[in-house]
Amino acid sequence: MLSITEEITKSVTLHLAHAAKESPSTGYLVPELQKGAGMKRRSITSVLAFTAVAGSLLVAPSATASEVGIKKAECEVWKSNKAPWTGYSKCTGMLPIVERQQVKVICIDPRGSQWVVYGRGKGNGETSSAKCSDNPNVGVYKVGANVYRI
């Protein structure tokens, strides 16, 4: 797979190969100055301008998530230690108003059947809970947190 710089260089080379010919003395591609060469010169100019702009975008620094203040939410999950079996999640570090979290509980019964129960969406620092069943023989298999944007 080619990098963006290699793709741009390949594209410019192909464009120049159609609009120019190689100089015998230097080996560089030079524009053909023949009848109708004005269109070819404009094409070469536009390709070179595009390459300059694309190259400057590649060199320009970009902000990482930590530089702009966005960080990954940290979540804590746990389950109850007695029936009725319930899963809980509490997340911090989410964007206020925009991000919510909910607990995702995978329940299991004595026959091994599994199903998923989701808790209500909660904000930063609030606890979401979901109960598998009132049946004491139904337990919590796994607990996780689902962070989403509104």
pLDDT digits (tens, 9 = 90+) for 41-52: 666 666 666 666
**pLDDT (0 to 100) of residue 16:** 46
What whole-number distance in Å separates Cα of residue 60 and Cα of residue 73? 29
Mean pLDDT for the stretch of residues 77-105: 95
Cα within 13 Å of Cα(35), Cβ side? 0
pTM, entire model: 0.54
Place of tokens 């029936």: 83
Query: Is it the case that residue 105 has pLDDT exceeding 90?
Result: yes
Query: What does the angle CA 119 – CA 122 – CA 124 come to, to the nearest 5 degrees?
Result: 140
Q: Are 84 and 131 in contact (CB under 8 A)?
A: yes
